[in-house]
Amino acid sequence: MVHKSLEWNLTEEKMLQLIHLNLIEILKENGFMMEMNHLISTLNERTKNHIIHKNKKYSVSKYIKINYGGILKFIDTYTIYGISEERRRRYIHLLDATISDPFQIGKRITSDNEWEQI
C-alpha cells in the first residue's frame, strides 16, 4: 500500500537522488550484486545521518516502502537494476555500471509482474 499523506523533509527528487546514488555505490563496492536484505541494511546504515522526516524513526527503506510499496517494486521500476532469486534469497544486481548520475536512470515501460507466460 502506498501512502502519500506523509510530509518528508526532502523533495521526491532529492530522495530519489539519495537512494540511487547510494544503491549504485553499494552495489559497485560489492561486485554489482548483493543479497536484498543485506543491501537494505547497508542502505539504511549509509543514509542514517540524513533526516528525511521530522520523526527520526523513518529510514530510507521505510520511505521506499511507504512511497513505492517496497524495495522490490522500487528496484523493478528502473532499468539499471535487476532482481534474481537463488535458494530462496533475492539478489539485487546493478546492470549498468556506467551510470553515476541518478537523473540518467530510465524507468521500465512494464514491470516484471505484468508479464504473463503462455
What's the domain range around 19? Answer: 12-98
pLDDT at 4: 54
Within a domain: 77? yes
| 114 occurs within a structural domain | no
Q: What is the pLDDT of residue 118?
A: 57
Is residue 72, in this structure, part of any structural domain at all?
A: yes
Number of domains in the chain: 1
Domain membership of residue 66 (yes or no) is yes
**Helix residue ranges, H only, the chain:** 12-29, 36-46, 60-68, 71-76
Report the CATH number at residue 86. 1.10.10
**How many Å apart are CA 92 and CA 96, to the nearest integer?**
12
Question: Per the domain annotation, does 3 fall within a domain?
Answer: no
Check residue 26 and give its pLDDT: 96
**What pLDDT tens digit does each residue of the chain (118 aa) get?**
555 567 888 999 999 999 999 999 999 999 999 999 999 999 999 999 988 988 777 899 999 999 999 999 999 999 899 999 999 999 999 998 787 666 666 665 555 555 555 5
Q: Are 67 and 61 in contact (CB under 8 A)?
A: no
Is the pTM here over 0.75, yes or no? yes
CA-nearest of 106, 85, 110 to 95 is 106
Strand partners, 92: 34, 83
Distance CA 41, CA 44 (A): 5
In a domain, 48, yes or no: yes
The H or E element containing residue 92 is strand 89-94
What's the grid cell of residue 16? 530519489
